[in-house]
Structure 1
Amino acid sequence: MRIYPQNDLPPEPPYGDAAPLEYSGAPLRRVADFQRLLFELTPRIFVTPVLIGVNVIVFVLMTVFGVSPFSPAMADLLRWGADFGPLTLDGEWWRLLTSMFLHIGIIHIGLNMWVLYAAGPLVERMLGNSGFLLMYLVAGLCGGLASLAWNPVIVSAGASGGIFGIYGCLLGMVVRGRGSIPPEILTQLRSSGLGFLFYNLIFGMMMPNIDMAAHLGGLAGGFLCGLILSQPYTASTRAGRLPRNLLLAGLGTCLVAGGFMGVSTWHSGLVRVQRELTQFGEVEEKSIEAFNAAVRKSQRKELSGQEFADLLERDVLPEWRAARERLSAVQRVPASHQRRVELTLEYMLRWQEAWELFAQEYREDSPDKMRKAMERQQLAESAVQLLNKEAGK
């Protein structure tokens, strides 16, 4: 499953090497022949255990390096590569991939790896090792893109895109494989897949912390992969896997790259807002520090009034004004950031006015200017309090 930072409950496991297929009253020879053919086409299963191993190793490393194994902090998840729109869409595209191998707590990874262990081996035998890996990656990336498109301001992680892709792929193969997969197996695969989807979709709608967009994106991506990779299961199936894998690699690359560019364009306002807010944080720290240092020097009589005013005009106000102009020029500010941007602009304006009045007062020795400057400074502090309250919601 892919979640924000909670956990969810496991679905019923599907079929794999750990859970042999059973057919009461079915033509056992036909089923046995099909299973034997799958083992001949894909003699060894190694992609599924490798994927499980990578997920477990990453989780262990996170724990060793101080990340909580039960309730990891958002900052820790981001450091390890979790998906977060303002970062992912602003040059850190690799988070779409790395977030597929991160998990938010031991229960989260335990449930996901259980489902992958149960579902992966059968689909890997049906697709072949390379085809299964391609499908898993394409579906996982599609899930990450769907999550970014739907709600780019959450921090999310998990293998659910790839896991839902496995079931989507099964459904795609069921749609195209009616003539080559024994009807007894088709019936059980259809029942297992639909049961998994029904359970998880209903449960996901009841739990607000579950990233349903990633689930549905992975499901859709896997379904398309199943349609592309599905072929009749005969002795010549292995020869047909390479061209289908190449086709999926090409189409998957185009789909993911095109989807990423589309989502980036759609959320361009968010990316720029987050970038400007981050840059302003640096400007704010530098400007406030310069102002406070100037005040201390002035109090020690190390600066004249004219020098104090010159310092404000030279070292504080130019960058501050430029940062405010850039933030106010951002178009298409997302609703989730509008209040924060409004309060930040108010805060920036009041400090700018205060510094301008301070500079005038020190040049002109005007008590009225000083009084007005102090009023602007108090208004700036009020804006900060509102910003902190907004951030705590």
Structure 2
Amino acid sequence: MNFPSLPSLSTRVFSLKPRGWPYFLSLAISLLVTLIFAYSIPPAPMKPVLFSILLAMVFFAAWKQWRKGLRMKIGFGLLSIKTPIELAFPIANIAHISIDPKGTLRFTLYDENNSSPESAASRLKGNFSRFGWNLEISGVGLTTARELCKAVNTVPEEIPAELAAELSSNRMDSFQQSLIKNHPYIFATWLLLAGNFGFFAWISFNGVSPWQPELPNLITWGANYAPLTAQGEAWRLLSSIFLHLGMVHLLMNMFVLWRLGPLLERMLGSVPFAITWFLTGLAGSEASLYWNEMRVSAGASGALFGMIGCLLGYLLGRPRSIPQEILRQFRSMAITLLLFNFLFMAFLEGIDQAAHAGGALAGIACGVFLGMPYGTHPRFSRYLRNCSLAAVGGFFLWSCWVPLQAKVVRDSALVLRFEQFQKEEFPLLEKLNQYSQAQNRGEIARGELAMKVEVEILPRWREFHDWFADPPKVPTHFQPWFADFQKYLQLRQEAMELLIQALRGNDFLLMKRSNARAEEASRLVEKINRDIKEKDR
């Protein structure tokens, strides 16, 4: 487009382009976080693939951010923008410029058609009809914004932050400003953040690894573990919400809470927000207990998915309570979160999808309930609504817990017995070894050794054998090696029985058969350990 010949008000050339160091710093931080995240993930066959995908996403996001940076030039009576949009118009076409405390500039033009390319005119007109200005330039800072105004020989109108929120094209900012105006103070989100970080710092101070905590330590500090949770330690349903599987797990969850929490708390109110957090977290813990059998579970992910579900449920009852532009941003955020969730689920084992699903479903129910319209007395209605949410949600969780506890107690009996066996196996076999060495040194007679094995060792081993001989249900993670384990118990028992007979009868052949049984049992133990390690890997 050929612009009309207009006298230039300035011969000064002013150019603006992205500075490299903020982008490189952002990229370096992202790469550092990715490396820390990769380090914290336990070894897995698909770990390199996941790491490569994350690196590609980091570089793509950095490149996209660089491409969207503002590139603008003012000179010889013309203002031209190359990115993020292509636009140019004469300086003399500027009718008005406003500037807010953040340094955002808003231009009003005399004639939108006096711009290039021709397609820009419709966009400029659309902005004016929606926002009252034609062009918005943000992110340059207050000092640079004032220099830009000098370059076009225009004194800007300084507008307050309240008016800037109304004029902003970023509806998320304006919506948040309106929420802050109606609900200036929040406390539930900050208390939850402080509680999670404080608990993590406390257990780290007491010797738990901040990067890859071991399962026994997690169980000690309150992880959701079915055999213990169902056996009188139901408090683990709650404590596991504040316990995380390392620094990266904590930071990821708390980042989502920091981003989503203040907005949702101002929409719902602090009390219903806190009630929903705990209800959905407990629902996720119960779902994990039901679905995952004997897995050790911890983290606030169930509650976080519950808050996202709560937002969706709330919008079902109040679809017009949030502008469409913000709904699109929420949709994008939810899709991104789901993509990451499915990505981790595809490449890594141990992601507690049951807790995510249980929390999300409970959150949707809470959101629908909270989205119901108030009665004629809003203050009383809010109080009644909060009490009803806590009472109904608590009763539902309790009614689910009673049969769930009975099921878990029944299913976890074998696990508890196996843990007891692990505690007693080594001392029992060590005692047998010590008695055998004492007999070899001549400190005890053959008959005495036979009596000690028959009285002190064999009866307990027979109990172990009977425990696992015909269980009603074998946990899923026991199934690959449980048959070998049963055979191992049988071989050890036969070896002890043959040893007693050989000692009393002074029978060399029976002693040889006893040793053969013991050696076969040892080889079987090595195979079982390899199978367990392979399964964990």
What's the TM-score, normalizing by structure 2?
0.63
Change beyond 3 A, Cα 1:279–1:76 = closer
Greater CA deviation, 299-308 or 160-169? 299-308
Contact 1:273–1:327 (CA under 8 A) maintained in structure 2: yes
Change beyond 3 A, Cα 1:6–1:264 = farther
- Aligned partner (choices 121, 126, 129) of residue 262 of structure 2: 121
Note the C-alpha offset of 1:269: 5.7
Q: Which residue does 1:238 correspond to in 2?
A: 379
Note the C-alpha offset of 1:305: 2.3
- Secondary structure in 1 aligned to 2:517? helix
Q: Which residue does 2:313 correspond to in 1?
A: 172
Aligned AA for 2:331?
A: L
Taking the aligned partners of 1:21 and 1:70, their CA distance within structure 2 comes to 45
- 2:477 is the alignment partner of 1:336: yes
- Aligned partner (choices 52, 56, 59) of residue 197 of structure 2: 56
Q: Which residue does 1:206 correspond to in 2?
A: 343
Greater CA deviation, 61-70 or 345-354? 61-70
Contact 1:172–1:225 (CA under 8 A) maintained in structure 2: yes
Aligned AA for 2:334?
A: L
Q: Which residue does 1:312 correspond to in 2?
A: 453
Taking the aligned partners of 1:33 and 1:381, their CA distance within structure 2 comes to 69
Q: Which residue does 1:82 correspond to in 2?
A: 223
Residue by residue over 1:134-178, the C-alpha shift from the partner in whole angstroms, topping out at 9 and shown as x without a partner, is 100011111222223332343332211111111111111111124
Contact 1:138–1:252 (CA under 8 A) maintained in structure 2: yes
Q: Which residue does 2:420 correspond to in 1?
A: 279
Query: What are structure 1's unaligned runs of at least 5 residues?
Result: 11-19
Taking the aligned partners of 1:22 and 1:69, their CA distance within structure 2 comes to 45
- Secondary structure in 1 aligned to 2:298? strand
Q: Which residue does 1:14 correspond to in 2?
A: none
Taking the aligned partners of 2:177 and 2:423, their CA distance within structure 1 comes to 67
- Secondary structure in 1 aligned to 2:354? helix
Contact 1:343–1:383 (CA under 8 A) maintained in structure 2: yes
- Aligned partner (choices 357, 378, 382) of residue 216 of structure 1: 357
Aligned AA for 1:169?
A: C
Q: Which residue does 1:16 correspond to in 2?
A: none
Note the C-alpha offset of 1:32: 9.9
- Aligned partner (choices 285, 294, 298) of residue 157 of structure 1: 298
Greater CA deviation, 346-355 or 154-163? 154-163
Note the C-alpha offset of 1:218: 1.3
Taking the aligned partners of 1:381 and 1:25, their CA distance within structure 2 comes to 69
- Aligned partner (choices 171, 174, 195) of residue 332 of structure 2: 195
Note the C-alpha offset of 1:243: 2.3
Contact 2:315–2:321 (CA under 8 A) maintained in structure 1: no
- Aligned partner (choices 269, 289, 292) of residue 148 of structure 1: 289
Note the C-alpha offset of 1:186: 5.2
Aligned AA for 2:344?
A: M
Taking the aligned partners of 1:45 and 1:261, their CA distance within structure 2 comes to 35
Note the C-alpha offset of 1:291: 1.2
Aligned AA for 2:448?
A: E
Contact 1:70–1:106 (CA under 8 A) maintained in structure 2: yes
Note the C-alpha offset of 1:268: 5.0
**Largest Rg, 1 or 2:** 2
Taking the aligned partners of 1:380 and 1:81, their CA distance within structure 2 comes to 36
- Aligned partner (choices 100, 125, 133) of residue 274 of structure 2: 133
Residue by residue over 1:201-253, the C-alpha shift from the partner in whole angstroms, topping out at 9 and shown as x without a partner, is 22211213333322222111111111223333689433212322222222222
Residue by residue over 1:267-291, the C-alpha shift from the partner in whole angstroms, topping out at 9 and shown as x without a partner, is 5564122111111123312321321
Q: Which residue does 1:257 correspond to in 2?
A: 398
Taking the aligned partners of 2:328 and 2:179, their CA distance within structure 1 comes to 18
- Secondary structure in 2 aligned to 1:185? coil
Change beyond 3 A, Cα 1:74–1:323 = same
Aligned AA for 2:280?
A: A
- 2:238 is the alignment partner of 1:106: no
Note the C-alpha offset of 1:132: 1.4
Higher helix proportion (structure 1 or 2): 1
Contact 2:293–2:475 (CA under 8 A) maintained in structure 1: no
Contact 1:86–1:271 (CA under 8 A) maintained in structure 2: yes
What's the TM-score, normalizing by structure 1?
0.84
Query: What are structure 2's unaligned runs of at least 5 residues?
Result: 1-39, 43-49, 58-164
Greater CA deviation, 343-352 or 76-85? 76-85
Note the C-alpha offset of 1:363: 1.2
Residue by residue over 1:34-73, the C-alpha shift from the partner in whole angstroms, topping out at 9 and shown as x without a partner, is 748842xxx6311110000011111222332233333333
Greater CA deviation, 345-354 or 144-153? 144-153
Contact 1:164–1:222 (CA under 8 A) maintained in structure 2: yes
Alignment size in residue pairs: 372
Q: Which residue does 1:382 correspond to in 2?
A: 523
Taking the aligned partners of 1:330 and 1:309, their CA distance within structure 2 comes to 31
Taking the aligned partners of 1:25 and 1:102, their CA distance within structure 2 comes to 36
Q: Which residue does 2:213 correspond to in 1?
A: 72
RMSD (Å), alpha carbons: 3.2
Aligned AA for 2:276?
A: M
Higher strand proportion (structure 1 or 2): 2
Change beyond 3 A, Cα 1:186–1:141 = farther
Contact 1:37–1:235 (CA under 8 A) maintained in structure 2: no
- 2:322 is the alignment partner of 1:185: yes
Taking the aligned partners of 2:267 and 2:378, their CA distance within structure 1 comes to 10
Aligned AA for 1:274?
A: V
Taking the aligned partners of 1:107 and 1:194, their CA distance within structure 2 comes to 25
- Secondary structure in 1 aligned to 2:340? helix
Taking the aligned partners of 1:148 and 1:186, their CA distance within structure 2 comes to 38
Taking the aligned partners of 1:6 and 1:140, their CA distance within structure 2 comes to 24
Taking the aligned partners of 2:326 and 2:361, their CA distance within structure 1 comes to 17
Greater CA deviation, 111-120 or 75-84? 75-84
Contact 1:146–1:217 (CA under 8 A) maintained in structure 2: yes
